[in-house]
C-alpha cells in the first residue's frame, strides 16, 4: 500500500489557524476543507507517495496559532482524529492523535 494522504479533523473555528505544514522538514501546500454540517474542518498532506517503511519514519508537523495552539481547542469535540489514505482512497484507517486525556504526538 502506498501512503498517499493524511487528513486531520479539527474544530471548524480553527480552520484559519493551521500553518507551516511539513513532511520531514520540507514545507507542503496547506490544504484546508470545511465540513460545516459538523462545525469541523480538516487539513491534509497530499500526494505523499510514501511506502509503508518511509511513512513509518516520516515526521508530519504543523503549527496551530492563537487559541487553537491548545490541543483541547483545536480538537473537534475533544478528539483530534486523523485518517490515512492510499492513492485510490478506498482504504482509510483512522486513529486519534489526542483525546483530551492521552496524546499520541512526538
Q: How many residues does the chain have?
A: 106
- Kindly list the strands in the beta sheet with 5-11, ordered across the sheet, starting from the edge strand earlier in the chain: 31-35, 40-45, 5-11, 80-85, 94-98
pLDDT, residue 73, reads 93
Question: Which region holds residue 35: left if phi is over 0, alpha if psi is between -120 and 50, else beta?
Answer: beta
Backbone angles phi, psi at 30, to 5 degrees: -85, 115
Q: pLDDT by residue (tens digit) across 36-54?
A: 899 999 999 999 999 989 9
- From first to last of its 106 residues, the chain has per-residue pLDDT tens of 788 999 999 999 999 999 999 999 999 999 999 998 999 999 999 999 999 899 889 999 999 999 999 988 999 988 888 999 988 887 677 878 776 655 455 4
Amino acid at each position: 500500500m502506498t501512503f498517499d494522504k493524511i487528513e486531520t479533523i479539527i474544530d471548524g473555528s480553527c480552520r484559519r489557524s493551521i500553518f507551516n505544514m511539513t513532511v520531514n522538514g520540507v514545507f507542503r501546500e496547506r490544504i484546508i476543507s470545511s465540513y460545516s454540517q459538523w462545525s469541523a474542518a480538516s487539513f491534509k498532506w497530499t500526494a505523499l507517495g510514501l511506502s509503508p517503511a518511509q511513512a513509518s519514519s516520516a515526521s508530519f508537523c504543523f503549527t496551530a496559532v492563537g487559541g487553537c495552539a491548545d490541543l483541547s481547542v483545536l480538537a473537534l469535540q475533544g478528539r483530534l482524529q486523523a485518517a490515512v489514505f492510499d492513492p485510490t482512497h478506498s482504504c482509510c484507517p483512522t486513529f486519534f492523535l489526542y483525546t483530551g486525556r492521552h496524546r499520541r504526538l512526538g
